[in-house]
Structure 1
């Protein structure tokens, strides 16, 4: 019986320590929030996507991909020296933000399955290195929409 009690005590202690570890590690996750998302109404069979991801957490993260029913070919691009190129991820700093905006880094939707019109919404899902995916219904704006000019 003594051996059984010791094993039971050890099991309870292990379970308690795992539970405590689980609680503390959740505070180490990034705290991400998406705002200002929009897609200009496409005029060709491709479209750009723009948004801001704010991280209120003490842990940095990375945007690693974007998926959408609008296209099977959704990529993320950086713009440097007026040239764009596909990248595998974007950093989202701890207590900082990632801005995807016209003339800069952005989401690219290629070979659109349909052409959404101004006023429609497009569903996207953002995928991260650490945080859980975030689904966003992105409004389609006028082709020349640029919130930086307002």
Structure 2
């Protein structure tokens, strides 16, 4: 009876080990990698001909934090990332995108600054951005240009 019991336990242990290995790596739905998406992007029509602000939300449904490291666009010579603390704006080189969380860029808070614009965006235009991350592949975002007074909470 002991050999049978031992082989049954060994079989259970092997099955458990195989199940654990199946959950490692790969791109299954149980993956703990970052799962990034972008929404609520917009640029208020700029007042200046060569500079504009941009806002968006990056959502991470995955179990691993990632980091936004750069933003580029053919529409601007440079895009810098800024955070606002106590009313003071400071340029930063990256932003953490928390696991199961969001990185929000909004008026009065974190934001993107489009500098050296190739042309002044008008309401109705769309600006194409490429977001680059430390771990995940790049995301391409179509950012609509809204009215200069657009406020996402009111929709105007």
Shift of 1:25: 5.2
Q: Which residue of 2 aligns with 1:31?
A: 35
Alignment partner of 2:47 out of 43, 48, 54 = 43
**Can you list the C-alpha shifts for 1:71-126, whole angstroms capped at 9, x where unaligned?**
12111000011111110111110000010000000111011110111011000000
Query: Aligned to 2:122, what secondary structure does the other structure show?
Result: coil
Gaps of 5+ in 2: 1-20
Q: Which moved more, 1:140-149 or 1:98-107?
A: 140-149
Question: Larger helix proportion, structure 1 or 2?
Answer: 1
Q: Which residue of 1 aligns with 2:146?
A: 141
Alignment partner of 2:73 out of 46, 68, 71 = 68
* Structure 2: distance between partners of 1:78 and 1:36: 18
Answering whether residue 90 of structure 2 is matched by residue 85 of structure 1, we say yes
* Structure 2: distance between partners of 1:149 and 1:98: 21
Structure number with larger C-alpha Rg: 2
TM (normalized to structure 1)? 0.82
What's the RMSD between the two structures over aligned residues?
Answer: 1.6
Gaps of 5+ in 1: 1-19
* Structure 2: distance between partners of 1:149 and 1:141: 13
Q: How many residues align?
A: 130
